[in-house]
Structure 1
Amino acid sequence: MSLHRFNAMNTQFFTKGLPVGAQEMSEGWMATIEGKLSRFNPHSELSLFNRSAGQPFLASTLLYEVMNEANRYYEATEGLFNPYLGHVIRQLGYSKSYELLKGEAVTHDLKTKPFECDIPVIFEPDIGVIRLNLRLAVDLGGFAKGWSAHQLSLMLQQAGIRSGAVGAGGDITLWGVPEEGWTIGIGDPWEASRDLMTLRVRYPAGIATSSTVKRQWKDHFGQFHHHIIHPHTGASARSDLAQVTLFAPHLVDAEVYAKCVVILGSKHGFEWLASHHPSCAAIGVLHDGSIRTVGRIGQYVEEGELLHAWSY
């Protein structure tokens, strides 16, 4: 099966197992998503929505759906996943596309802190209007990538493509399973050129990897920050986990829950995942280099290969 790569949303996407027409459809869909949901594009619909905070905003069907879905996860995780930290992440220095931050010292306002907000957004489904709390800004970040890849997979399945893969940065959605299965690599968070392990996936799955190591930048005090923000502190999450790869039946679940586990750390995060989402499983890489797992990984990958990988 041919591998098709293209760039969108400041990351590399890939598809596998798709005919040429479906590959072109994939590129067009992701270009549409980038035009609608990029917070770095001042003309995107998301940027217009953020500038409308406090006022009714007549949203496109796409923006309304993705905001409704993001807010549903915000409520379900009791704010642990928080798409309303746009001002916070900007003040920490992530104010432009990541590749433009490398090697820069950025200034941020240390006085600004996140706050509890009972009603961050109001939806009016009858007329397609969204009203964002005046003090908030939305940053969909990795959620938009995972959501868009999942939506693309549904469209491709509706078009009659029974088996395929779509990758969006650290997110992958797999549907159907070819006879040889799907082979995926779990990357080394400290060395981009190599994998910690290679696994064979025999079942449909959504897989998301969240890392505190790969997207870092330095402020003018010389302090490092990363893009996974703890919603209670307004600072980059500081836990014992450097990276989490999470397997779920649904890619958007994997994207959201991977970040939640990273924020909570290996002990509380693994306990949270096991008690709240027993259908999921995760592979965590700690800052000391050790690897831990939670959940029934065998639901998704061949256990023998997984155990062999642990001998690394």
Structure 2
Amino acid sequence: MAPEGVALDGWKARLEASESGFTLDTFRAWAKARRPGRPIFVDCTSSEDVALGYPALMASGLHVVTANKKANSGRQEHWRALRETAARHQRKFLYETNVGAGLPVIDTLKNLLRTGDTVHRVEGILSGSLSFILGLTEAGVPLSKAVGTAMEKGFTEPDPRDDLEGTDVARKVLILARELGRTLELEEVALASLLPEEFDAKGPLPEFLARLPQADELFQRRVDAHRKEGKVLRYVGSVGPEGVRVGLVPVPLEHPLAAVKGGENALSFLSERYSPTPLVIRGYGAGAAVTAAGVLADVLRLVEGPLP
């Protein structure tokens, strides 16, 4: 703990030199003892254990700002408990970066709904990392090398299989579906992996990465086959009347999603108000910088808003 604050030019060395461990219980006790005027817990991890601790943190008087998707895409009862606890203790729970990194996806959807619009369909490219990877493979870069480059740039999840197998995008569309009032679990999202069916993606991460070049030729064949048809592959998530699904979709070159690559995200909302032309949000969606900006925006919203 550092009540006096942490200098930005020395935080990493100070963290590595620290001998004190961290638990949510010690943080709650610290916050209760210090009684800060605007207590905000910021979670930039991908830890399910930390996400499960949000209700207890809120009950202890803390607001929660999170980039961690595990809370909103976990079990439905936890999703409901979060909102009930936040309302009961008058705490804010902000998670704009859960779906579009720095893009205003959650806020836009909530504003549509609170102003009386009816959203019929949400569809788009919700993974900056897969947008980046598919853009490279489209240019002839082998899949394994494209994944390695995305990892080096910090675009992927800690385990890139969360991206490649569609789990990360599935979590995002599940969050959107729940915002729209649907009651469902992650396993109910229809999910198709980006990786070829013939490729074995199991095992420890180092072993998976060592085997990944075996998928290069299989994947490139698919890319080339669709190129001959005048199409490109895009990893698309959707919430619509037919259900909630994510997977690779071949789209014609004139399709709006064909131009979305290089780390961009794009999402369309087809609603009563925005029909037949949907409301579209598009922008860069990969990397720590845009996500950090989105987290900071949520923190500033709490800091600058009225006290509860």
Q: TM-score, normalised by structure 2?
A: 0.29
More helix by percentage:
2
Relative contact order, higher structure (CA 8 A, sep 6+): 2
Q: Between Structure 1 and Structure 2, whose CA radius of gyration is higher?
A: 2
Q: TM-score, normalised by structure 1?
A: 0.29
